[in-house]
Amino acid sequence: MLPKVTSHLFLHTSRAVALVQNQSGTLRNVLQHQSSGSTTSTVPWTTGPGSSWGGAGTGAGPGGAKFNAGSKFYTGYTGAGRAVTQANTSAGQDLTKDDDKEDVSTSLVKSRQSSSHHSRPLARRHSFSLPSGPRDLAQETSTGVLHTVQLHLRARHTFAPSAEHEQQNRQQPSQSESPISADDSPQSSFAINVEEAFATKNVPRLAQLIMELADRDHDVQKSLRSIDARERRRRLGAQTSSLIGEAAAEEADSKGRDSLLSEDNFRTAMSIFDAACITSESDSGNLQKRSALAFRFPVNVYHALLRSCAYHASTDAALRVYSHLEARVRQPLTYGSETSTRFYPSTTAIYYLLSTYVNANDLVGATEVFSEFKDLCARKEIAHSEPSSNVRIWNKMIEAYFRAGQPAGALRLLETMMDGESTEKAQGEKVLVPSPASSTFTTIINGFCGQIPNDSVNSGSAPVPSPQPDVATALSWFNRLLLQPNPSANPFESSSEPTRPDQKAWTVILEMLSQAVSTDKSRIQDLNRLFGVLVDCAAKDSLEVKPTLRSMVLSTNVRFLEQVTDSEDKDLVHASLAFLAHHISLDKGTRPSLPHIGETQALLANVYPQFVRFGMAEKAWELAKGLVARELSVLEETLEKDEKPEAKRSGQLLNKVVPLALEAIVSSSSETSVLSEALQVVQYAVRKGVKLTPAMAPHLLHAFMISPIEIQRDLAQQDYELLLSCALTLPVTPSNNELPEGCAYRSLTALLKVFDNAGIDSHVQAVPRKLALAVMTALHESLDAHQLAEFFGTVGPVFQRFKRPPLPPSPAAESTTPRLPVIVDAELSRYIDEWYPSNRSLTVHDGYARLQEAISAPSPRYPHPTTLGRLINGLGRARDISALQSVYDTAQQVIFSPYVSANPSWQSQAWFQIEDQMIIAYAHAGDMESAYGHRDRISAVGGVPSPDAYGSLIECVRDTTDDTSNAMALFTECQMRGTKPNVYLYNTIISKLAKARKADFALDLFEQMKANTTLRPSSITYGAVIAACARVGDTQAAERLFEEMAGQPNFKPRIPPYNTMMQMYTHTKPDRGRVLHFYELMLKAGIKPSAHTYKLLIDAYGTIEPIDIEAAEKTFKKVESSGETSLQSTHWAALINAYGCVLKDLDKAISVFNSIASHPSARRNPANPLPDAVTYESLINVFVIHKRMDYVRTYLAKLQASGVHMTAYIANLLIKGYSAAGDIEEARRVFESLVDPPSGVAAPNNHVPHNPASASSVPPSEPSYREPSTWEAMFRAELGNGHRDRAVALLDRLRERQFPHAVYQRIRGIMGDDNSVTPWAQSPSSQSL
C-alpha cells in the first residue's frame, strides 16, 4: 500500500486514463488500435526516429542492458581451450549490473516498406519458438559442411567484396570454392577466418567472431545516436559556435553517418549464426547425438545478437535467436561426457526481445513478449528476476503503448505497478509487479512529450500520424514530481514513494518545452522557470546542469526574441531578457572555464541586437564588459598557475557587439553626450586589443561630425588619433553602401577639414609619424592630383604634413647626371670585393679606399652595383655612416648612368638592391629612423624589403622599453607584405622572443620554419630556441632540442648553446651534474670555453649544494693563469657572491673585493679599471643580505672616488637594504636620485658590455637611469613599510611613463587584494650577473 501522499499524487493517473479514453479528435484516433502488415528480416530496416532515451532514434527504453566484451559473460568465455558450456552459469546476469547509459534504440535505418504479409505474432508459451533440440540434420546436403556454409554465405551476399565477385558466384554455384577472393582485404581475411572456423568446427572461434560483429554493431549504433543527438541539439539551438563551424560539424557528422551505415555487421553476424544453426558437430556414431554448433554458443552470444536485433527492429531474426535459446531451456545439451547446466531465460534476453518488437512498432508482438515474461516470472523460470531489472521491462512496455498511440494502456500499466506488489493469477501463482522507479515516471513524461513516434502498429489499419505533444499533461506530471521531498538515487530502483525528477526527466521536459516555444510563445516562461529550478536544485539532487542543456535553453530564448514582434507581450520579452542577463552574468563565486566563457560570449553576441531592440543596450554593454573581465581574470590566473609566458584572447565578442553598442549610443544619446559615450566604448575595445573595423568606425565618426565645435576641439590627443584610425578603416570617400543610413561622416578629407575648423593644429602636428604616413598614403592613393591640390589649398599649413613630398627617385624617373661617363668595370668590382665576406688582411675600409681611388682617377671607373651594395652593408656594420652615405651617392650615379639605364630591368633590380642594403646598413649602424626611411622608399614604389632587411631591423631593435613587441610588429609586417622569411630572419625573431622569455611563440616559429622544406635550421637557430626554453626552465624541451641540433647534418658546434644549457642548470634549474656534463660536451666538441663559461662554472660550484668552494677557487685561478681568457669583473663578482651570499662569510667576501684593486687584471683595460660597477654591485648585495648597511656608505664613497658610474641595479639593492633597515626616507632619496629615460627608450648605461676589454667606462657625472626593476624595488619598499598610498602613487607615475602593459601588471600584481606584499625575490646573485 503506497503512502497517502503517493495516492494523492497519482490520483491524477486515473483521471488521465479516463480523460484519454473520452477525448475526441486526434487523440481518440491515436488511441485506436492500428496495425499494418509487414515482414521483418535480418536486413537493417525499420522505423524512423524514436525515443529520446538514447539521444535519438527509436528507443528501447531508459537505460538498457549492456552485454559487451567487457561484461561478466564475455570474461566467462576466454577462448577455445575452455568448455563453452561453462559460460551458462552466468546466463542470467542481471540488468542492474550493466551500464545504465546503453540503449537499444534503432538508429538511421531504412523505413519499412508495406507488404502483403503480416508480421508474425508471438503465440503463447510453447508455440513461442522454433522446435527444440537439435535441428533436423537429414536436410543437409551431402556436399559437406563447409560447402553448405559457403552456399549459405553466398546466398546472403555476406562477404562478397564487389559486384564482380558476386557475379562470379552466381555463375558457378556448384563449385566448392569459397565465394570470397583470396586477396588481402579485411573482408577477405574475415571470411577466411569464418571458413576456417566452420571447417574445424571451432565453436569458440565462431562465438568470438559473432561477438566481435555484435560489439562493433553496438559501437556503430552508439556513434549514430551521438550524431543524432548532436543534430537534435543543433535543431534546438544548443550550439553557439560560428555558422562556419556549425556547417563543418554538420558535414563531418553527415560523412560519419554514411560511413557507419555502410557497415553490415548485424546481417553478417546473423548469417554466421544461421549457418551455425544448420551445421552439426560430426559424429560417426548415432545421428541423434549430433547437435547444431549454435547450441554450444555461450549465452552472451545470444544476448549480443538480441541486442542487435533490437537495434535493427528485426523481429524475425530475434525470434530465430530466442527460439534456439529457449530450446536449450527445455532440452539441455549433452555433448560427449559433458552436460550443460540447465538455465532459464534471463531478464536480459526478454528485455532485448521486447525492445525489438517495441522498436518495430509491433504492439501485438510486444504484448505477447510481455505476457511471456509475466508467465516466466509466475513460474519462477526466469533468471535473476530482480526489481531493478524488472522495472526496465515494465518501462519498455509502457513505452510500447505510447509508441502505439495508446497512452491509456501505458497509464493502466503504471496503475498496476502502483496498486500493489503482486497480482493473483487463476492458478494461484503470483506475478511479481515492481513498484515504479524514477525512470518509470520519466517514461510517462517522455510519452506525453510526444517524442516517441508512431509509425505503424500491426493491427491491419493504415498508419496514423504521430500524436502532438501533450505539453500540459507532461508539465503537470513533472511539476508534481518536483513537489516530492527525496531525489532519485538510481533511476531503476523501485520505490514505494515517488522521487524528484532524475537527470533524464529534466532533459526530456526541457527539450519538449524548447520545441513548444516555437508554436506557443507563452511556454518560454515554463522553460525558464524550470531551468532556474534545475540550477537551484542540481547540487541537492545530485544532478548536472549540462552545458548542452544550458546552451539549448538560452538559445531558445534568443530564437524567441528574434521571432517576437514589437507589438507582442512586452512582459514576456523583458522576462526573457532578464533571464538571459542573469545567466550570461557568470557566477562570481565560481571560476568558469575558458570554453564556457567563450560559449557565453558567443551567446551574448547573438542576443545583443535584441537587448538593443528592446531598450536594454546599456545592460548588454555591461554584460559584454563583464564577460571580457572574467575572461581576462581567468587568463591571469592561468598564467600565474601554469607559468605560461603569454596568452591571448580572441576578442570575437567585442568585434561583434561594439558596432551594436555604438549604433545604440548614436540613436539614443544627445548631441552633447554621444561623442563621449562612443569614445568610451571604442577606447575600451582598443585597450582590450580589438582592432578597429569598418563596422565600428562610421558610428564614432558620425558622433564626432554631429557634435558641437566646442566638444570637437576639447578632445585628448589619443581621441583625435583614434578618429583618424577609424577613418583609415574605410575608403577615403566611402559609398552610401559602406556607411549606415544617415551617417554624417562622408570622407577622410571632410574629417580633416573639421579638424582644421576646430583649430586643433597642435594635435594634428602631434599625430605619430606612422599614422601620419598612413593618412598621407590613403589620400594620395585615392585622390588625383587636382583633388589633392584642391584639398591642401583649403586647409591650414599643419595639414601639409599629410602631403607627400616628391617621391624618391624611382628607377623609371630618377635622373642623376654624372659629371663624367660612368664605366662599370668587372675587374674593379672583383678587386674591391676582395675584403668580402672575410679576409685576414683586408677590411671593409680597404674596399672603400679602393673605391675612392678608382672613382677619383682621371678616367674614373665604377664597380658593379652589387659590389657597392656589399660595401654599404659592411660600412653600416662598422658604423661608418659618412662612408656608407658616400658609397650610396656613388651608387646613384651608377644606377642612373646611361650604361645601366639602357637595361631597365637591371636598373630596377640595382635600385632596389641598394635601397635594401641601406636598410641593413643603417640598422646595424644604429640609425633606425634612416633605416625606416629607406624601407619607406621601397614601399613607396610598390616594392618589398628583403628578408635580410627585415631581419636586420628586428635584430637592431634595442634600447626600447618593449623591444619584443616592436620586433614582432616588424615580423608581422614582413609577412603581410609577402616577404618569405629566410633562416636569418627566423633566427633574429626567435632570438628576440627567447630574450623576452616567450618560449611558446619561439617554438611555434621554429616549428613553422622546420615545416618549410626549403629552409634548414642552423646552429644559430637551435641556439636561439634552446635559449628560449632554458630561460623559462623547460629543461626537457631544451635537452631534446640540443640533441636534435647535434644530430643535424649541417651542425657546426658553437659556444652559445653549450653556455645556454650550462646557465639553465646553474641558475634556472640548478643541477651541477648537468652543468659539468655540457661543459664536457663542449670540450669534446673542440670548443674553447669563454669567460662566461668559467663564470658559470664558478657559480655552479659556489651556489649549488653541496657547495664546493675549492673547485670554485680552482676555476677562478684557471682563468687567472689563462693566456686565452682574461679575468673579468663577472668572475670576481661570482666569487664574492659565493663567499658572501651563499657561505655567509662576510669578511672573506670583503677580502676578495679589496684584493681586486691590486690584482694585475685590474689595469688591463685602463678605460674601464676594476673594481667596476659589477663588482661593487656584488659586494653591496652581500651587505644587504647580511643587513650591514653601515658598510654601504664606506664603499659607496669608494665607488664615487674611483669614478665608477652608479647603475640602477646598485640603486635597487640600496633601496631594498635601506627599506629592510627601516630607513624608508633614504630609500626614497636613492630612488629619486635616479632619472627616467625618454619615453619608450630603455635605460642606458646599466648593463655589462659584451666585451668589457674594448668598452669604455661611463663617466660618473652621467645620470643614472631607472630600470623597471627599480620601480619594483621602490614599490615593494613602500608596501613593506605600510605606505600603500605611496605605492599606488608610484603605479600612477609608472602608468604615465607608458611602460609596457606586462611590466605594469607585474608590478601591480605585487600588491594582493588583501594588501599583502609578495616577498622580495631571494636570489644569491644580482640581476646583472
pLDDT on residue 873: 93
pLDDT at position 636, please? 63
- Cβ–Cβ < 8 Å for 459, 33: yes
Cα angle 56, 62, 68; round to 5: 85
Task: Cell numbers for 850, please give them.
Answer: 679602393
Pairing of the two strands 430-432 and 422-424: antiparallel
Q: Tell whether omega for the bond before 904 is within 30 degrees of 0, i.e. cis.
A: no
All three cell numbers of 1297, joined, read 611613463
Cis peptide before 1171 (omega within 30 of 0): yes
pLDDT at residue 379 in the model: 81
Question: What DSSP element (H or E) covers 334?
Answer: strand 334-335
Q: In the Cβ-directed half-sphere of 1303, how many Cα atoms lie within 13 Å?
A: 22
Three-state SS annotation for 764-833: HHCCCHHHHHHHHHHHHHHCCHHHHHHHHCCCCHHHHHHCCCCCCCCCCCCCCCCCCCCCECHHHHHHHH
The conformation of residue 962, written as its DSSP 8-state character, comes to T
Give every CB contact of residue 40 below 8 A, 6+ residues apart in sequence: 46, 119, 313, 314, 315, 316, 317, 360
Split the chain (1329 residues) into runs of 10 and give each run's mean pLDDT.
Answer: 37 41 32 33 32 33 32 29 30 38 48 38 39 35 41 41 37 35 54 84 89 90 84 62 56 82 89 87 45 83 91 91 79 49 76 92 92 86 75 90 89 85 45 83 87 40 54 90 89 86 91 87 90 90 86 87 78 87 72 71 78 81 77 62 41 77 78 84 84 89 91 90 92 90 91 92 84 86 88 89 62 47 88 89 92 90 93 93 92 89 86 94 90 88 88 80 77 83 90 83 87 85 89 89 87 90 93 94 92 94 94 92 85 94 94 90 72 92 94 90 88 93 93 79 64 58 85 91 89 78 78 50 40
* 8 Å CB contact between 956 and 924: yes
Q: Report pLDDT for 458.
A: 36
Given this model, what pLDDT does residue 568 score?
67
Q: What pLDDT shows up at residue 1186?
A: 94
pLDDT 10s digits, 899-954: 888 888 888 889 999 999 999 999 999 888 899 899 988 888 778 899 999 999 98
Looking at the DSSP bridge assignments, the partners of residue 862 are 824
Sign of CA dihedral 806, 810, 814, 820: positive
For residues 1121 and 1119, what is the distance between their CA atoms, to the nearest angstrom? 5
Residue 415's nearest CA partner among 5, 4, 6 is 6
Residue 810's pLDDT is 43
Are 1215 and 1225 in contact, with CB atoms under 8 Å apart?
Answer: no
What is the rounded distance in angstroms from the CA atom of residue 258 to the CA atom of residue 261? 5
In our burial notation (b when 16+ CB lie closer than 10 A, e otherwise), range 1268-1278 reads: bbbbbbbbbbb
Helix (H, G, I), strand (E, B) or coil at 422: strand
pLDDT value at residue 1257: 62
Distance (Å, whole) CA 124 – CA 597:
59
Closest C-alpha to 523, from 534, 533, 509: 509
Instruction: Give the rounded distance of the alpha carbon of 414 from its chain centre.
Output: 48
CB 437, CB 502: distance < 8 Å: no
Question: Is 324:130 a contact under the CB 8 Å cutoff?
Answer: yes
DSSP calls for 215-242: HHHHHHHHHHHHHHHHHHHHHTT---S-
State the helix-helix crossing angle for 652-668 and 674-687, rounded to 10 degrees. Answer: 170
Angle, vertex CA 206, rays to CA 200 and CA 209, nearest 5: 135
pLDDT at 60: 35
**First and final C-alpha spacing in the chain:** 86
Matching residue, cell 624601407: 935
CB atoms near residue 311 (< 10 Å): 32
Between vectors from CA 40 to CA 37 and to CA 43, what angle results, nearest 5°? Answer: 145
